[in-house]
Amino acid sequence: MLFVYKQTNIPLVAGLVSGLSRPVFFGQVHYSTNLPFHLPNIHLERGPSRLSKINNPCRPREQTRAHSSSLPLLSSHSPSNNNRRISPSSPSFSTSLSSHHHLPPSSKITAKMVSNGTENPSKRHKVALIGSGNWGTTVGKLMAENTSEHPNIFEKDVQMWVYEETVEVDGNPQKLTEVINSKHENVKYLPKIKLPTNLIANPSLVDTVKDATILVFNLPHEFIGNICKQIKGHISPYARGISCIKGVTVTDDKIELISEYIGEHLNIYCGALSGANIASEIANEMWCETTIAYNTPPCDLHAVNSNGHANGNGQPVEEHRDSRGQIIKTPLVPVPQDYPELSHEALRSLFQRPYFTVSMVSDVVGVSLGGALKNIVALACGFVEGNGWNMTAKTAVMRRGMLEIIQFAREFYPETVQEKTLWEESAGWGDMIVSCTSARNWRYSKMAVERGVSIQEIERTELNGQKLQGISTSREVSSFLRARGVEDKYPLFKAVEGILDQTIKLEDIPHLFRKAQ
């Protein structure tokens, strides 16, 4: 339940929901906690004086929490009702709230029932997944399970683009899409995992994204440029995206988050998903957690303004800012008001499963860089372990790796990065630990050293046509740093590229670390 107390100069309030044992704080962002039951949102308005708008609607949740301790509680329990439970439909609901001793005595409170910004939105979000490797198919599985369970928010079917291949099933060559749609199993990239029947494999990229309002990107980052070119002009103008791609696009001139690359090339907003996630474990419904960064565009917030109308009328609206704090070049087209609002809670309901816990944040930079750069560190850990070095050496590599990730974020995204994301979220240290102890970049770099062959040879023989993202990320990031003359400030990143190109020996790592002190 969401209480928004609309009184001038009181932009942030707190609510204590009846039946909960702790306060639930809400601020200028629609922010709430998981409730053990479902209730519609409630907007509370103060008589004739209402806010014409909510300032800074994309305020991060940690800033909201920071102010909550000094605020009065708005409670559905009042001293006069002997802690009697009051439901929103109760005749005494408004009276109880307005008579609470923490509210100004002149305040007359009225309650208005709304659902995701509109009363009973008539449309549902259509979800499209671009990518069908092991991680892509896994994400498709959990999303399709959720769209079935949330028909008030999403259309049931999830379209999944599959690069068409011929696979052999029971001794007969068949198209991969036909196998997925008939057997409900991705026999090549996620074998022996039963997929929901509403996850639809589609060999046409353009048809997959047609009319979709939520686009989920899940494929190796080196292919994203070509994908964006193919679908530009074929997607909904108010589509929103989530990138599950752990990488960055880098040239000697600039570095760009994958999510922002997608957003700029398609003229949409795109968030990012990253965390300590291993596809095969999640597919087998072994519990883990992840982080989704989504800084809801102001034009998508269904906030009632002074004339009683809401945003989301299909007209371009400015003022959304990018990862460097600059207003975006092309104004976004708002999600129409007849769709459910794409809030943090709505996105959580698309991805979260009993076996997959989702933490929502607004720090797209921290989540994106943590997911991309930790692959370089994972390669280094594999090299060290394959060479027979002990766990303390590996720990030193991980510690240095996290310092360089944070240093990189500070140096190139000082305006918006929140370092706590890297220290506290699954997308930070959690992903680092998993990637450096059990994930692919670590496993195959370790194998390369143990077998005495190049990691490129291991990639060719062991990965069934897929690529190790750490290799391309390492080379691109090092080239970017070298062009700016700061490569020596990042000794671990420099060492990994040198080992890949056989210009630096593994044994040189301790010397490079000492040199950087």
Q: Are 298 and 320 in contact (CB under 8 A)?
A: yes
Beta bridge partners, 201, equal 160
What tokens appear for 35 in the block?
A: 């409730």
In angstroms, the CA 435 to CA 473 distance is: 15
Beta bridge partners of residue 160, listed in sequence order: 129, 201
Q: Radius of gyration (Cα) for the chain, nearest Å?
A: 25
User: Residues 6, 141, 188, 374: which is the catalytic one?
Assistant: 374
> CA 483 to CA 479: how far, in whole Å?
6
Q: In the β-sheet with 199-202, what is the strand arrangement from edge to edge? A: 199-202, 154-161, 125-130, 214-217, 240-243, 269-274, 288-293, 356-361
Distance, in Å, from the CA atom of 140 to the CA atom of 160, rounded to the nearest integer, reads 7
Confirm whether 374 is a catalytic residue. Answer: yes
DSSP string covering 68-130: HTTSPEEES--GGGTT----TTSTTHHHHHHT-TTS-TT--EEEEEEBTTBSS-S--EEEEEE
Report residue 207 CA to chain centroid gap: 24
β-bridge mates for residue 6, sequence order: 45
Mode of pairing for the β-strands spanning 154-161 and 166-169? unpaired
Q: Is 360 helix (H, G, I), strand (E, B) or coil?
A: strand
User: Residue 481, SS3?
Assistant: helix
Token readout for 497 is: 């590229």
- Taking the CA of residue 378 as centre, how many other CA atoms within 13 Å lie in the half-sphere pointing to its CB? 31
Cα–Cα dist 398/410, whole Å: 18
Is residue 203 within 8 A of residue 164, CB to CB? The reply is yes
Please list, in sequence order, all residues whose beta carbon lies within 8 angstroms of the beta carbon of residue 108, skipping any fewer than 6 positions away: 46, 47, 98
Cα distance between residue 99 and residue 92, in whole Å: 10
Q: Which of 52, 54, 5 is nearest to 26 (CA)?
A: 5
Catalytic annotation, residues: 374
